[in-house]
Amino acid sequence: QVQLVESGGGLVQAGGSLRLSCAASGRTFSSYSMGWFRQTPGKEREFVAAMAWSGGNTYYADSVLGRFTISVDNAKNTVYLQMNSLKPEDTAVYYCAADQRAPVVFTTTAQFDYWGQGTQVTVSS
């Protein structure tokens, strides 16, 4: 059974950085794609970043392009989201997700089969 556990969220001032981690277990993820999404109260969950576990192209929402970086550490079975130059509008619960149709990488919530519980990121102005 796939299990995804996010960590690394917290409170940071605007302009600061955070690194989110997603520890993945229960499967061999070489045929999976991994994504990060975020959600604020009253809004739909939105795409942030995605990539195939095995590497290759990375995909980002326009709102985070150039500030956020998604990466995979095979040895640690962990997906990261490095977030720099954070803005108050980045405040949200961030979710890690997995989809088993790599090398195709989707960027919509409906395509992802497995989700973590989320970690809160709050950026103060």
**pLDDT, tens digit (0-9, with 9 covering 90-100), for 12-31:** 999 999 999 999 999 999 99
In this structure, the dihedral spanned by the alpha carbons of residues 110, 40, 94 and 71, taken in order and rounded to 10 degrees, is: 70
d(CA 44, CA 21): 22
Both tokens of 49, joined, read 């970043």
Instruction: Please state the rounded mean pLDDT for residues 56-72.
Output: 97
Instruction: Please state the rounded mean pLDDT for residues 83-96.
Output: 98
Longest dimension (CA), the chain: 41
d(CA 60, CA 4): 20
Instruction: Please state the rounded mean pLDDT for residues 108-112.
Output: 94
Q: For the chain, how many residues are written?
A: 125
